[in-house]
Chain A
Amino acid sequence: MAGTPSASAAAQPALETSPDARIVEAVRRGDREAFGSLYDLYAPMVHGILLARVPWGEVDDLLQDVFLVAFKRIHTLREAGAFGGWLAMIARNRAVDFHRRKRETEELPEDLAQRSSVDPEAAEALELIRTLPEAYRETLVLRLVEGMTGPEIAERTGLTPASVRVNLHRGMKLLREKLGTEKEP
């Protein structure tokens, strides 16, 4: 069980010696190419987290912001193996910050760019997913938009596989209800 002390004690060295941890250590030593590897590994996750919260047209800029913040603050990360969860938190905070600033400045309508350049059916499906509770929304976007599998989502975000499985199942059930494709059991 993930929450037990023995499990967490055993997980600690595993986190520290994971491939991600080694890449993070390399970045800390000044290896810029190593940060490129982290970008390749984690950009889909950050993209999905942002897409679940902000308009599609804003995602690319915010994604760059998230990685720049991560690069600047990588020395504040205590456990190198927890990079994924830490980065996911930066992305969520950045999305919250975006909405806070948007309220202050009252810019163009949220889905203007989306309406002009995205397939309407895709935009509609995404809008439906965005109406779901946050935990389901994020997991479903990572699965359906970014094409990540459940184990990959768990590994990247730092969530437990069980949580991801539950979120996927319940989120999909809610989405089916909204799409009107709920099947009788």
Chain B
Amino acid sequence: MNEDYLWDKSGEADPDIKQLEERLGQLRFKRPAAPLPLPAEPSTRSFRLSTYTPALAIAASLLLLILAGGLWMSLRRPASTEGEKGLATGKASEEKQTQQIVSGPRPPLDPVKPITGDMAQAESVPASASPSSAARVNRTPRRSTAPRQLMARLDGPGTESRTTNRALAREGEQAKAQLIMALQITSQKLNTVQKKVQTHQERSPIS
């Protein structure tokens, strides 16, 4: 076989190839008399979905995150308002209780006395106290208020902040749960978008 002739028609012609060329030559392209019917203008739209898929996916995820954030904020606001109300109510009732304690029989404890190991001695009835007051001290209400006061003393000025912390923690838990839910919704939406993009790519016939 003459490879040169097959490659660029140079050199001596191979008879088999020549015969095939003659036979098959009748199927060769012949320019039609009518010109190619072109549309008015070539499409100037250079948009290709496959090219912009990553950008679209990022934009969609950002949009969904913003929507999820907005949803979370709108859900969070009423919850925090309720929390603040509850906190305020709690504070009011606590103040009321404190007032009751103050207006009631004053316990023989020194409110600013630091807690020490011999607290039991400090709580003992002073010798100068009258028997009636001692009896009053030993009455039942003391049992109910003493632990509270002890707790108040232990907590000191941090009681309020601890309550606030607890409320904040509760609020945080709620927010976390809402955020997780929003992220789940976002992830589902992203999956849907990806599936749609894949389907569209598979359906487009010509690249």
Contact = CB atoms under 8 A, between A and B. Distances in A.
Interface stretch (B37-45, B128-136, B193-201): B37-45
Interface in A53-91: 56, 60, 63-64, 67-69, 71-76, 89-90
A43 interface: yes
Contacts of B45: 75
Interface string A114-157: 00001101100110000000000000010111110111000000
Interface residues of B, number: 34
Given A32-B38, A72-B39, A75-B46, A150 B7 contact: yes
Contact of A75 (B7, B29, B42, B205): B42
B46 A122 contact: no
Interface stretch (A4-12, A102-110, A164-172): A164-172
B36 interface: yes
Nearest to A94: B206
Candidate in B23, B25, B43, B48 with the most chain A CB atoms within 10 angstroms = B23
B31 A72 contact: no
Contact of B21 (A27, A144, A176): A144
Contact of B17 (A64, A90, A97, A172): A172
Contacts of A48: 29
Interface size class of A (residues with CB under 8 A): 35 or more
Contacts of B27: 51, 56, 118, 122, 126, 145
Contacts of B29: 43-44, 47-48, 63, 146
B16 A176 contact: yes
B12 interface: no
Contacts of B23: 119, 121-122, 125
B25 A150 contact: no
B177 interface: no
A58 B207 CA distance: 21
Contacts of B35: 36
B26 interface: yes
A43 to B, nearest CB: 6
B13 interface: no
B43 A93 contact: no
A122 B24 contact: yes
B32 interface: yes
B1 interface: yes
B42 A144 contact: no
A149 B7 contact: yes
Contact of B24 (A36, A39, A125, A176): A125
Contacts of B39: 68, 71-72
Interface of B: 1, 3, 6-9, 16-17, 20-21, 23-29, 31-32, 35-39, 41-46, 48, 205-207
8 contacts: A28-B42, A75-B42, A93-B205, A97-B205, A126-B27, A150-B6, A168-B7, A176-B16
